[in-house]
Structure 1
Amino acid sequence: MKLSDYTAFPTDIPIIVEDNLFLYPFMISPLFLADEENIKAANEALDHNSLVMVCTAKVGDEHRRDFNAIYPAGVIGSIMRKVDLPDGRVKILFQGMQKGTILKELSTAPLRAKVDVLRTQPADAIKIEATLSVLREKVTLLGSLGGQFPPDLIKTIEENNDVHRICDLVASSMRLKKEQAFSLFTETNDEAHLLKLIDYVIEEIESSRLKKEIKTKVHSQIEKVNKEYFLKEQLKQIQKELGTDNQREEEIEEYRKKLEAKKDHMEEDAYKEIKKQIDKLSRMHPDSADANLIQSYLDWVIEIPYGKLSKKALDVLEVKSQLDKDHYSLEKPKERIEEYFAVRELLDKRGIGEKAANGAILCFSGPPGVGKTSLANSIAKALKRKLVRIALGGLEDVNELRGHRRTYIGAMPGRIVQGIIEAGEMNPVVVLDEIDKVARSFRGDPTAVLLEVLDPEQNNKFRDYYLNFNIDLSKVIFIATANEVGSIPAPLRDRMEFIFVSSYTPQEKYEIAKKYLIPQELKKHGLKNSEVSISKPTLQLIISNYTRESGVRNLRRRIADILRKVAKQLLMDTSLEKLNISNTNLKEYLPKTVFEIDEVDKENSVGIVNGLAWTSVGGDVLKVEAIRIQGKGGIQITGSLGDVMKESAKIALSVVKVLIDNQKINVPLSIIPTTGLDKEESARKIEPSDVYRRYDLHIHVPEGATPKDGPSAGITMATAIASILCNKKVKSDVAMTGELTLTGKVLPIGGLKEKLIAAYKAKIKTALIPKKNYEKDLDEIPDEVKEKMTIIPVSRIEEVLEFALVK
């Protein structure tokens, strides 16, 4: 049947919408119509014995029945048969005749439009034939790769010479998207139509080749796995028959189970490395040396607590409460710790994530025994996290931290990974103790590893040589401790924020002993509060005369010495119920006294000045002594002084000479020697400058066995030199510290808090400090020190001499 049997074109005909398929003119297709508009269109065509056009719905617009939802071209054909189905649908048998295009929309219920036949443009027959042969070749190749083109269809394509019929056959057999199918369907240029179709066929060939390759690989892998499974099952049965122990297989299976349980929480490279070693172990003979090494490796790595985290939420109030409970005083350090965890808690609550909280790495620095490590212990308690302590003092082998490569005998993970395994969680509190005492040798530089560990931008991929894969340390809270910040290498120092924990005053030591040390030591020695008492004056005497330290470690030891003797007495004399320790009987328990800082002399002296010094165990009061000896203006410096301190002495002498020359210091001429001079010198009038020409000076700092260095003794030495050359006494209750320049300026110094605490212990009444220190550091000085002592800021040497010398 032909179109000419119906009507001339263009003409008005109803439209049926097909949701999924593109139909072609050569097709006779059953269509199932479910919606009312399509059924109306079919009925109208049958009633009037007219043609109908089937158009395809656009992508995403299925089930819409308007002209905007369909492609404006389709197949014109006739309905050969119609059957009403029991479920309400209608089945029609549609015969396609010719491609058509919509010219004008007429109605929407049902869809009806003016339609014309889609006409093609004539093309060069030679070009068409050549292009057609290429298409046939590609279709044959595609047919050999998959089942889209059966042999009968390929034969039909090869034997047919109708370009449109061949294009429609090929397009209908391919899995084309609707947009691609419509582009081909509406192409009116035969050559362009063939070229587009060839491109689609080539794409399908590449896709089919890739699928075939993947399928082949999958089948090979499945066959390999099945083969291994059957061989292993046979091996198990053979071992069972022979009575061989299958414990090793059970161990390997246990490794696999543990690995799979942690797979979701570990990185891909870690999973692959561990799985690789398990597979290698399963293929090895159990008695080989490598098998033992791999098994040791798996015993370590399988215990890494992937996915295990302390679930206790951060609470800055709990941190504050724990710090106050465990530590007396230390207000500044405790405040900084609270700020650190307040920021982390706020980030967690606002969902910004733990990674953003990894800012500064805290480092507690200060003298021994002031509570640096115990602060870290308190943080771990408050956060309910495990505490891992890594002692870095004297560490010089980089592999101790990084781990040893598995090629070495006795290799094991580094201390950091070991600590995480022991803690059993991925976010413990790790204390890097004595980070300033890390050594450097031919074995490497451990600080290079610490640079990576303490850098929040790098430690999420820390590589341990033993593990041979990266491990995430970003959730670990690292806290370092140090005695001297200056000993830490600059790049490592740059990654940390220092919280300085300074010396305790005698009153603070008394409170710490009363509230913490004595109760703790009583418990350790099995004693009750009712069995021993230490009076307040006795405790103060122990602090002042039996300990020499900035912290309270030795004070704890002295209390322990007393309680050991008390425990012995209670056991040997059962009649004793309580022992009272007082000043009168203290020598029975602590026979040896250690004078920490001598009290200053009560009498003013010429050439003796109290200087304030900083040491690694706190502050100290050092006397600087000077004498004059008849000579020729030379200077001798003793007392185991460093180069900087010797230079300070020379600067001080030069400054005092200038002051004498400018008559800012009065020199009594009576002290200038006149004997032993030649005639010319004897005849000359005596001048003030003769005092430093005719005398040699000797400057000494007592405790000559102790090395001393630093610039802060500048004004102390200048005062001693001025005193001895002017024959003026120095006030015995005045102490001073400050660097001196050649122009007489007083420069700021470090360690002011420790120095002033030492002055307070020595019962100094007046302290002279640089003006800049007074302006910026005075708020760090304990109140009891500021109340009992007058602190005077000075900016020039003239002011120092004004306050220090007796007029």
Structure 2
Amino acid sequence: MKLSNYGEFPADIPVIAEDELFLYPFMISPLFLSDENNINAATLAMEDSSLVIVCPTKPSRDGERTYDSLYDAGVVGSIMRKVALPDGRVKVLFQGLARAKTLYEVQAAPLIANVSILEATNIESLKVDAILEIVREKVRTLSSVSNYFPPDLLRTIEENHDHNRIIDLICSTVKLKKEQAYKLFVETDTEKRFLFLIDYLIDEIEANKLQKEIRSKVHTHIEKVNKEYFLKEQLKQIQKELGTDTARDEEIEEYRNKLEAKKSKMGEEAYKEISKQIERFSRMHPDSSDASMTQTYLDWSLEIPFGENAKKALKIKDVEAQLNEDHFSLKKPKERIVEYFAVKELLELRGLGNDSAGAILCFSGPPGVGKTSLANSIAQALKRPLIRIALGGLEDVNELRGHRRTYVGAMPGRITQGLIDAKKMNPVVVLDEIDKVSRSQRGDPTAALLEILDPEQNKEFRDYYLNFDIDLSKVIFIATANDVSRIPTPLRDRMEFITISSYTPQEKFEIAKRYLLPQELKKHGLKKSEVSISSPALKELIHSYTREAGVRNLRRRIADMSRKVARKMLEDGGIDKVSISLKNLKDFFDKSVFEIEKTTKIPVVGVVNGLAWTAVGGDVLKIESIRIKGKGSMQLTGSLGDVMKESARIAMSVVKTLIDSGKLKISPENIPLTFKEKEENIKVDSSEVYKRYDLHIHVPDGATPKDGPSAGIAMVSVISSILSGEKIRSEIAMTGEVSLSGDVLPIGGLREKLIAAHKAGMSKVLIPSKNYERDLEDIPKEVKDTLEIIGVSRVEEVLKHILVKES
């Protein structure tokens, strides 16, 4: 089919708009028409057996297909076939014949334009032939670095001598933008077309060479890694091109930013370790277990508050005021705490830091006396966060030092976690129940505590999980313990103990009135005006319903009472106030626990009042004895420990010495006689009394284990009484160990023991002379006012006070 078969040009022919690309004269192309104007134009051309021109749309057409939205150049050709498709579109087969240009619009719907043919010029010159060879060379070069030209097309370009046909073939193969294609399309000068095409081919060759070089480098790199890494790199590049899923890169960048922000505040070792782990994490596959473990490490380590300290200056006036506000009594402990912080404040004022930080404070005493609450008050006064680390039953040293990261579920130690929770490097850390730390096959936690609590070592405390040192020198450590003797000696040497002893009934009364009652009423939603408890009722609650050295159970009892009051107010309705007195006290409490039985003041043979220290305070310990005819043996019962059993044996030997020396008089009627001795009226020596009786010594409450070096003089007294038959004053209590030579030795826990004697209504207490000289200043005034305290140094003095001489 030739153009000459149709009419002369310029001519008015229908126009079809093409969205995608420029068509060329030699092409037979299927066109899918969905626009109504295009379909009508194609229909008109077939009905009139006329030609059509296919013009590309301009890039900024905004969906329009008007005359002005089209390029003024296109391909004139014929429609060979037209088929209607099921989806409403029309498919036509278009054959291009010649390049043409639209001159003006003739009709809008369907679009018809006046068209003229573009005639090529400068076709047969020698210069054009030479340029053609350069074009062919560039095409060959581009073919070697790209996949644009298949072999058949290359052969056609080499063998064809139609210059403009060659240009159109090349333009239809390479990826020309519409503006570039239009510029080449409308140019009629063949030489200029060739020169423009050469410029384009040179640019395309350079671009493809660069792409090939990049592909070669990527391929070389990929050969060194496994398939997984290759897929990850591909995914990363795709996501980068798309601008999506950059969360992981942002996360890594966030870690780096956090590290740089803290660089000036952390040590060089810590910076290197964390930086190394960030680099490792950036190279790991995000789904690997190592990546998860490393990310957890980075989360922990970058949460450590390097260089963050509480800003409030240390002032002992604040500490003293807070202690006095939160705690009643405890004069000595509060004085010692203030002295401790006075040293710290002086060091800070003189710029000496923690070089002479001194020993670590350890509050020791029975449960419920306020050890932990003292630490709370210190933290509040210093405006520092409080971290409580419970050491009770701790066996694994890694709990303190941190687990090595090779273990599954590894975590930093409790000390590091405490700093992270506190968000400061100088918190108050309470090491609770340090006496209950256990040693096991998983290490000795006390060894780690030695480093933690030593001011000379804790500047570089190494956490196994973090793998770098942390400065703990600014942390204020406060330990608590119930039994100091259970703390290992090396650890004990690093601490200074502040003993918090039992409270007297009057002190408990004041604590309950000032602190416990208001606090518990508030917790249970009650107002002060809604509940009143009389002083006698509160004292009875303390005396008969609690058995403790501190006030923990007293707080629980008040909480019980508050719950019952709250229920009563809701059930009865309309009650504005609940009053509790001695009369209705039993309505609010289940049962009483009689802590210490009151003395009867009736002298008894073979029963003595000893004083004992227990974990819940002091107690009056009655020791009973009976004699049975026998051969001088002694039986001990009452779940006694080895120390008390030895005290009983020593006491027996001491009493025998007293009898033999005549210092303890034995009435003849107390010595059992044989029939012959009675008949012949034979005088028997006093020493026969301990040879002819078996003694049974018993300490009641046999289910409770008892031990300790303080029952010696009580054992001497009860044995002396039962052998001599003389009564013991029941209003006298005693405590003290005895030596084999009869000396009274000092004991511990005097405060608790004297408080117990005071509660039991004793009138007189015998204590060792050394305790009398050094410990009486620690005894509450109310106890000293009601008790006659006597210091004794020999067992003879004890017997003189305790035994009732029959007239």
For normalisation by structure 2, the TM-score amounts to 0.70
Match of 1:758 among 737, 741, 756: 756
Paired position in structure 2 for 1:533: 532
1:610 match: secondary structure: strand
Alpha-carbon separation, structure 1, partners of 2:614 and 2:319: 32
Paired position in structure 1 for 2:596: 597
Alpha-carbon shift at residue 685 of structure 1 (Å): 2.4
Q: Are residues 1:548 and 2:547 paired?
A: yes
Paired position in structure 1 for 2:645: 646
Q: Are residues 1:624 and 2:629 paired?
A: no
Alpha-carbon shift at residue 500 of structure 1 (Å): 0.1
Paired position in structure 2 for 1:287: 287
- Map 1:21-170; keep pairs closer than 5 Å: none
1:801 match: secondary structure: helix
Superimposed CA distance per residue, residues 749-776 of structure 1 (whole angstroms, 9 cap, x where no aligned partner): 1111111111111111111000111111
Superimposed CA distance per residue, residues 620-656 of structure 1 (whole angstroms, 9 cap, x where no aligned partner): 1101111111111111111110111111111111111
Alpha-carbon separation, structure 2, partners of 1:234 and 1:350: 63
Change (3 A) 1:660 1:679: closer
Alpha-carbon separation, structure 1, partners of 2:572 and 2:690: 71
1:652 match: secondary structure: helix
For normalisation by structure 1, the TM-score amounts to 0.70
Q: Which amino acid aligns with 1:614?
A: W
Alpha-carbon shift at residue 679 of structure 1 (Å): 7.2
Alpha-carbon separation, structure 2, partners of 1:603 and 1:401: 58
Paired position in structure 1 for 2:367: 368
Higher mean C-alpha deviation, range 501-510 or range 581-590? 581-590
Superimposed CA distance per residue, residues 564-603 of structure 1 (whole angstroms, 9 cap, x where no aligned partner): 0100111112221111001111111102111111112221
Paired position in structure 2 for 1:686: 684
Q: Which amino acid aligns with 1:318?
A: D
- Map 1:244-323; keep pairs closer than 5 Å: 244-323=244-323
2:324 match: secondary structure: helix
Change (3 A) 1:365 1:474: same
Alpha-carbon separation, structure 2, partners of 1:426 and 1:722: 63
Paired position in structure 2 for 1:99: none
Alpha-carbon shift at residue 297 of structure 1 (Å): 0.3
Change (3 A) 1:274 1:588: same
Paired position in structure 1 for 2:773: 775
1:577 match: secondary structure: coil
Alpha-carbon separation, structure 2, partners of 1:682 and 1:506: 62
Higher mean C-alpha deviation, range 794-803 or range 688-697? 688-697
Alpha-carbon separation, structure 2, partners of 1:717 and 1:233: 88
- The answer as to whether partners of 1:451 and 1:492 remain within 8 angstroms in 2 is yes
Superimposed CA distance per residue, residues 709-737 of structure 1 (whole angstroms, 9 cap, x where no aligned partner): 12210000000011111111111111111
Unaligned runs of 5+ in 1: 1-231
1:605 match: secondary structure: coil
Alpha-carbon separation, structure 2, partners of 1:751 and 1:625: 23
Alpha-carbon shift at residue 684 of structure 1 (Å): 4.5
Paired position in structure 1 for 2:332: 332
Alpha-carbon separation, structure 2, partners of 1:592 and 1:351: 59
Alpha-carbon separation, structure 2, partners of 1:780 and 1:730: 29
1:594 match: secondary structure: coil
Paired position in structure 2 for 1:709: 707
Change (3 A) 1:805 1:276: same
Paired position in structure 2 for 1:359: 358
2:518 match: secondary structure: helix
Alpha-carbon separation, structure 1, partners of 2:420 and 2:553: 34
Paired position in structure 1 for 2:516: 517
2:469 match: secondary structure: strand
1:470 match: secondary structure: strand
Change (3 A) 1:233 1:657: closer
Paired position in structure 1 for 2:388: 389
Alpha-carbon separation, structure 2, partners of 1:441 and 1:712: 33
Alpha-carbon shift at residue 242 of structure 1 (Å): 4.4
Alpha-carbon separation, structure 1, partners of 2:598 and 2:678: 49
Alpha-carbon shift at residue 671 of structure 1 (Å): 1.7
Alpha-carbon separation, structure 2, partners of 1:261 and 1:581: 61
Q: Are residues 1:482 and 2:517 paired?
A: no
2:286 match: secondary structure: coil
Change (3 A) 1:706 1:401: same
Alpha-carbon separation, structure 1, partners of 2:332 and 2:598: 29
Paired position in structure 2 for 1:92: none
Alpha-carbon separation, structure 2, partners of 1:248 and 1:562: 58
Alpha-carbon separation, structure 2, partners of 1:532 and 1:454: 47
Alpha-carbon shift at residue 237 of structure 1 (Å): 6.2
Alpha-carbon shift at residue 287 of structure 1 (Å): 1.4
Alpha-carbon separation, structure 1, partners of 2:462 and 2:281: 23
1:636 match: secondary structure: strand
Alpha-carbon separation, structure 2, partners of 1:681 and 1:414: 85
Superimposed CA distance per residue, residues 240-288 of structure 1 (whole angstroms, 9 cap, x where no aligned partner): 2145511111111111111111111111110000000001111111111
Q: Which amino acid aligns with 2:341?
A: F
Alpha-carbon shift at residue 235 of structure 1 (Å): 9.6
1:575 match: secondary structure: coil
Q: Which amino acid aligns with 1:735?
A: A
Alpha-carbon separation, structure 1, partners of 2:237 and 2:628: 104
Q: Which amino acid aligns with 2:771?
A: N
Match of 2:738 among 727, 737, 740: 740
Alpha-carbon shift at residue 742 of structure 1 (Å): 0.9
Paired position in structure 1 for 2:581: 582
Paired position in structure 2 for 1:168: none
- Map 1:656-675; keep pairs closer than 5 Å: 656-675=655-674
- Map 1:165-244; keep pairs closer than 5 Å: 238-242=238-242, 244=244
Paired position in structure 2 for 1:444: 443
2:804 match: secondary structure: coil
Superimposed CA distance per residue, residues 370-417 of structure 1 (whole angstroms, 9 cap, x where no aligned partner): 000000000000000000000000111111111111011111101110
Superimposed CA distance per residue, residues 331-356 of structure 1 (whole angstroms, 9 cap, x where no aligned partner): 00000000011111111112222x22
Match of 1:724 among 722, 725, 728: 722
Q: Which amino acid aligns with 2:407?
A: Y
Give RMSD over aligned pairs: 1.6
1:641 match: secondary structure: coil
- The answer as to whether partners of 1:674 and 1:682 remain within 8 angstroms in 2 is no
Paired position in structure 2 for 1:418: 417
Alpha-carbon separation, structure 2, partners of 1:262 and 1:585: 64
Alpha-carbon separation, structure 2, partners of 1:476 and 1:512: 31
Q: Which amino acid aligns with 2:533?
A: I
1:516 match: secondary structure: helix
Alpha-carbon separation, structure 2, partners of 1:234 and 1:648: 86
Alpha-carbon separation, structure 2, partners of 1:680 and 1:595: 50
Alpha-carbon separation, structure 1, partners of 2:352 and 2:430: 26
1:566 match: secondary structure: helix
Alpha-carbon shift at residue 555 of structure 1 (Å): 0.3
- The answer as to whether partners of 1:642 and 1:708 remain within 8 angstroms in 2 is yes
Change (3 A) 1:604 1:463: same
- The answer as to whether partners of 1:386 and 1:429 remain within 8 angstroms in 2 is yes
2:363 match: secondary structure: strand
Change (3 A) 1:416 1:681: farther
1:356 match: secondary structure: coil
Alpha-carbon separation, structure 2, partners of 1:728 and 1:233: 101
Paired position in structure 2 for 1:36: none
Alpha-carbon separation, structure 1, partners of 2:301 and 2:709: 53
Paired position in structure 1 for 2:456: 457
Alpha-carbon separation, structure 1, partners of 2:670 and 2:315: 72
